[in-house]
A and B are shown apart, each in its own frame.
Chain A
Amino acid sequence: MILPYLGQSFKNLFSKPVTEAFPAGDPPKAAEGYRGRLHYDPELCINCGMCMRVCAPQAITREIVPLENGDQQITFTYDMTSCTFCRMCSDFCTKKAITLTDDYMIVGSAHEDFLVSGTFIKAAPPKPKFTPEQLEAMKKAAAAKKAAAAAAADGEKKPEEKAEAKGEE
């Protein structure tokens, strides 16, 4: 046939158009497994920095602000205009703090519209109980005690007492 679409075009003329109503209504749902705007949960993050390492377009930046009490305020910023949506960061995140949602409407004018960021405070590690000097002194004391116990064991040579001395150490 010379004009293969003639019949179809006349059929279309009297049928309902297939066009989606989109800008009039809600945007349709994305397909399953769609990788859209990133979601970051700072409560789960442990600041391992793995996402930054695996990100090919270097879309992830980290800002560390030390606080007065020794804690650190850590901000991760994910730049959606730089992201390739490969989901490597999500896959490598051990705490599952990063997930990719199905929100594909990433449209805007200002750069801030495209940034996903989260802040959390990383508490400083607990302070040690003893200072280094005290530890040194304790070590010396323990060594002296051990030496004394060894000297005492040499005199008596009783297995029970030896075991007891060891237990005390």
Chain B
Amino acid sequence: MLQNMIDSSMKKSPWIFHINAGSCNGCDIELVSVLTPRYDAERYGFKLCGSPRQADIVVVSGPVTMQSRERLRRTLAQVPEPFCVVSLGSCPRSGNVFKGSYAIDGPLEKYVHVDVSVAGCTPKPEAIIAGLAQAAQLLEEKRKEARK
């Protein structure tokens, strides 16, 4: 029973850790606006946490630049299981307008499996909330799978 309670609380308190992998700051601002009074993702237990060790959902924005590549890889290695990766905006999936630049070493799929993507440049906060909610559902499924 306790295990079932843990499973169900998995999706009720997903903590977000945000990695900026060379983003233009547009998606970062929209992600923070998700926690403002108007959109208030905290009613579903979302919380921005400062350390990757405490994260459940890792949100990556920006095309993966050469400078941020190693940091990204090291940060993702520190996140405890089970966790979800959400790519924010067009950049992490494809490189967007920076595609083909010598400073880009993307897409994000090369380094980690992306669970949910939110496209847009930048996505609206409603779309981000929908994406995060989808990722929170995935968290519970992942935990159930890991138990089996």
Contact = CB atoms under 8 A, between A and B. Distances in A.
Chains A, B in direct contact (C-beta < 8 Å): yes
Contacts of A104: 120, 123-124, 126-127
Interface residues of A, number: 28
Interface in A47-98: 56-59, 79-85
A59 B127 CA distance: 21
A30 B127 CA distance: 11
A79 B94 CA distance: 9
Contacts of B123: 104, 106
Interface residues of B, number: 30
Given A19-B40, A56-B97, A104-B120, A83 B90 contact: yes
Interface string A106-119: 11110000100000
Interface of B: 37-40, 43-44, 90, 93-97, 99-100, 115-121, 123-124, 126-127, 129-131, 133-134
Contact of A107 (B39, B95, B134): B134
B127 to A, nearest CB: 5
A105 interface: yes
Given A80-B119, A104-B127, A109-B134, 12 more contacts: A19-B40, A20-B38, A23-B133, A27-B126, A30-B124, A57-B90, A57-B97, A79-B94, A82-B90, A104-B124, A105-B130, A107-B134
Nearest to B115: A109
Interface string A11-53: 0000001111011000110100000100000000000000000
B94 A105 contact: no
A104 B94 CA distance: 18
Contacts of A19: 37-40, 43
Q: Which 5 A-B pairs have the closest CB atoms?
A: A81-B93, A82-B94, A106-B119, A19-B40, A107-B131
B66 to A, nearest CB: 19
Contact of B94 (A18, A30, A81): A81
A110 B19 CA distance: 22
Contacts of B130: 23, 27, 105, 107
A64 to B, nearest CB: 23
B96 A82 contact: yes
B124 A81 contact: no
B96 A107 contact: no
